[in-house]
Amino acid sequence: MWNSCYILAELFSQPLYVPTSALSLLWALPICLSIAVVYKAIKMETIRPKIFVREVLLLFVTIIGFLSIVAAGLLGVACLAGQF
């Protein structure tokens, strides 16, 4: 029992290396699509396939667009902060 507690404590005391790259941002696409599908499945009272697909795609594009705007804004802030 205590051995597993020490292993867990070790994980929190040393950061875990997670390799990141620009290509790893593509993992946001399936996550955003699944969020859009689940949200629309919960919120729509009657699910008709044509309307459901349209609504999911609209929400998916909205989420990706907003994430892109936020990323561009944060990149701008990071560039400005790096110059000072």
- Reported as a single tens digit per residue, the pLDDT across 51-78 is 999 999 999 999 999 999 999 999 999 8
Helices (H), 14-48: 28-43
Task: Answer yes or no: are the C-beta atoms of 33 and 13 closer than 8 Å.
Answer: no
E strand or H helix at 16, and its extent?
none
Distance CA 40, CA 56 (A): 6
On whether residue 25 sits in a domain, the answer given is yes
Q: Report if residue 27 sits inside a domain.
A: yes
pLDDT digits (tens, 9 = 90+) for 9-59: 777 777 777 777 878 888 889 999 999 999 999 999 999 999 999 999 999
Which residue segment(s) compose the domain that 23 sits in?
19-83
DSSP-based helix, strand, coil % in the chain, nearest 5: 80, 0, 20
The structural domain count of the chain equals 1
Structure tokens at 77: 């802030």
